[in-house]
Structure 1
Amino acid sequence: MMVSAVLLLLGALTAVVAPRWLGRAAWPEREPVVALWVWQCAVAGVLLCLGLSMLLSAATAWQAVRGRLFAPAPHGVAEAYGPVTGGPWAAGTAVVLAGGAVWTGAMLTREVLRARARRRARRSELLVRAPLLPGEDPGPVRLVLLEGERPGAWWVPGAAPQLVVTTAALNRLKGRQLDAVLAHEQGHAVARHEWLLNCARALSGAFPQVRVFAAFRDEMHHLVELAADDVASRRFGRLTTALALVGLNEDRGVFGPYAPPEAHVPQRVTRLLAATPRLSPGHRLGLTAAAALVPALPLLVAFGPGLTALT
């Protein structure tokens, strides 16, 4: 039960410290891809702490679970985790954590089903507004041009992904600005940002009071856009990408004194125009390696007594 308690404490500590540290740091704006990795490692660390604590608590409470959990382990490893007590604390902890795991799985399943339903609805709408012409081969990626008074471009993922552009965007964007917008949307597709956003929404929906999951959802929406902006700016330049963002969004009320507080487009444009240099390769490598230690630490804590018993 001691290892289970340590894991719970470690998970709570990670859930409190990680969002505060990342919220105060200035480097995520400069390195959104690294920041995405750090956030994923932090959330994975919290989930690992809870999952491993659930397993060890159940092994402490019930002999049947203990026998199955330690069946492949060498002799003496099970004893290193203490005897089966059958106490209410171990059983209660295991039941609560198991309920949380089931609830998380249900919310993730619901979010995936909702995302699929949204994709099907958008594809059905596209087939009505822009049907395939006789003999047309959509290819691996279909570029769809839609009549529209508002500039827009978006990516519809799936088995046959589609890149949609409105006629207003074609009229508004000049030179290579349209190429930058398309590169931005392709950056989302290549990095599978949709799955990351689905997971973030599922966790925050399952546990809205848990700060780390709510911050994970909010930051994912912001960081994936910055990462896609960087993909476009590396190919077509920061100024071209910034002008493309302005062209697409200047009619949406995101600029000016009455812009909604959740609008991040002005900050994205300012970031592109500022051209702040990236972190050094060594700094990026250090952050990446340090983040990888966050999910590794719960594993070390959980397997520590067993490894000690084998030495």
Structure 2
Amino acid sequence: MTTAVGLLAFAAVMAVLAPRALGAGWSARSPRLALAAWLAASAGVLVSVVLAGLTLLVPATAVSQGLAAILDACAMTIAGVYRSPGQLAAVLTGVALTAGTLLRLGWVAVGDMRRTRRERHRLHAAIATGARTEPSLGAAVLDSDRPAAFCLPGRRRSVVVTTAALDALTGDELAAVLAHERAHLRGRHHLAAGAVRTLERAFPGVPLFTQGRAEVERLVELLADDAAARRVDRVEVASALVTLAGMRAPAAALPAAQGAGAFRVTRLLRPGAPLGLLARLSAGFAVVAVVTGPVALAAWPLADAVASGLCLLPGADWV
């Protein structure tokens, strides 16, 4: 019971307090690291809840009937650490936590994947019918009086620009937009954005998941901006965002000017200093710890049993 309580406490603290630390200004200075931190924190909460349920199920395992005697001592040692007075209540709680969390997440994830697949299939069909491929751009050109540029991920991934965007953008601005969209495809940013959207839908009201969706969507745009700025002058990237500001693109796509507010433009024109080595190492350690920490906490009874010598196979000796 103590282990389960510790895991649930960890999940609660992460779900409420992590957004405050991850939403600080440092994320714009290192968007890749910040993206990893948001995803790791979300995974850490899920892992903690699932493992909490599994630890409550350990006492229900039949360990004294039909198992070899050499394993019986090991299993009883582990169960003794996990055992609590209200064993039946603990088992039911464990089932609810583990099965409920996984089933809810799986149900929403499958629904999201189906909707996204249908939308992308429809968009690909529409583009194949109404757009023309422009080899010199490496993109599909769609006739429209609205300036827009976006990419469609998936097996038939593509970059799409409208004729109005071609008329509105200069050569360098267009190169920046194309580099931005290709960075989205190359980095598979749709996977990160889709994962946090699913978490928000599956578990509404959890601060980490609610704020995480908005932050991850913002961070992947910053990553694509930085990729474009490495190929084209930062001023041209900022100018392209201003030109395409207010553009509308399909929900299943990743548009270049999505969330292109004053912050993204200012960041390009006046970039902040990158994080120092110590800050990057500290953040990297935290990213690893929030995922491995719950696993280590859940596994310590097993480690304790192994250390006691009760889990050794016949004839085995520690060196």
TM-score range for the pair, normalised by the shorter chain length:
0.7 to 0.9
Structure 1 residue aligned with 2:228: 232
Structure 1 residue aligned with 2:10: 10
RMSD over aligned Cα atoms? 2.7
The CA distance in 1 between the partners of 2:62 and 2:262, in whole Å, is 58
**How far is the alpha carbon of 1:237 from its aligned partner?**
2.2
| Residues 108 and 198 in structure 1, CA contact (< 8 A), matched pair in contact too | no
Structure 1 residue aligned with 2:175: 179
The CA distance in 2 between the partners of 1:162 and 1:94, in whole Å, is 45
Paired residues for 1:122-141 under 5 Å = 122-130=123-131
Of residues 261, 264, 275, the one that matches 1:265 is 261
Structure 1 residue aligned with 2:61: 63
Query: For this pair of structures, how many residues does the alignment match?
Result: 291
Deviations 1:222-267 (A, max 9, x none): 1111111111112212111101111111677xxxxxxxxx954221
**How far is the alpha carbon of 1:16 from its aligned partner?**
1.5
The CA distance in 1 between the partners of 2:64 and 2:224, in whole Å, is 47
The CA distance in 2 between the partners of 1:191 and 1:96, in whole Å, is 36
Of residues 237, 241, 252, the one that matches 1:245 is 241
Structure 2 residue aligned with 1:20: 20
Structure 2 residue aligned with 1:220: 216
Change (3 A) 1:6 1:84: closer
Deviations 1:255-308 (A, max 9, x none): xxxxxxx95422111111112121124422331122111111101101112112
| Residues 58 and 94 in structure 1, CA contact (< 8 A), matched pair in contact too | yes
Change (3 A) 1:278 1:128: same
**How far is the alpha carbon of 1:17 from its aligned partner?**
1.5
The CA distance in 1 between the partners of 2:142 and 2:132, in whole Å, is 11
Kindly provide the amino acid, as one letter, of the partner of residue 39 in structure 1: W
Deviations 1:64-97 (A, max 9, x none): 5999xxxxx8952552342486724312321321
What SS does the aligned partner of 2:151 have?
Answer: strand
1:274 paired with 2:275, answer no
Deviations 1:123-170 (A, max 9, x none): 0111220267xxx9x9xx962111111111111112221111111111
| Residues 147 and 167 in structure 1, CA contact (< 8 A), matched pair in contact too | yes
Structure 1 residue aligned with 2:312: none
The CA distance in 1 between the partners of 2:266 and 2:125, in whole Å, is 37
The CA distance in 2 between the partners of 1:65 and 1:274, in whole Å, is 64
What SS does the aligned partner of 2:139 have?
Answer: strand
The CA distance in 2 between the partners of 1:130 and 1:267, in whole Å, is 33
Q: What TM-score comes out, normalization by structure 2 length?
A: 0.83
What SS does the aligned partner of 1:235 have?
Answer: coil
| Residues 30 and 274 in structure 2, CA contact (< 8 A), matched pair in contact too | yes
Q: What TM-score comes out, normalization by structure 1 length?
A: 0.85
1:149 paired with 2:150, answer no
Structure 2 residue aligned with 1:256: none
| Residues 30 and 276 in structure 1, CA contact (< 8 A), matched pair in contact too | yes
Kindly provide the amino acid, as one letter, of the partner of residue 176 in structure 1: D
Kindly provide the amino acid, as one letter, of the partner of residue 119 in structure 2: R
The CA distance in 2 between the partners of 1:161 and 1:218, in whole Å, is 24
Of residues 189, 197, 200, the one that matches 2:196 is 200
Structure 2 unaligned blocks of 5 or more: 66-70, 249-257, 308-319
The CA distance in 2 between the partners of 1:65 and 1:142, in whole Å, is 62
Of residues 296, 302, 307, the one that matches 2:303 is 307
Structure 1 unaligned blocks of 5 or more: 68-72, 253-261
Change (3 A) 1:81 1:238: farther
Structure 1 residue aligned with 2:48: 49
The CA distance in 2 between the partners of 1:275 and 1:103, in whole Å, is 41
The CA distance in 1 between the partners of 2:63 and 2:205, in whole Å, is 31
Structure 1 residue aligned with 2:106: 105
The CA distance in 2 between the partners of 1:241 and 1:66, in whole Å, is 68
% identity of equivalent residues = 37
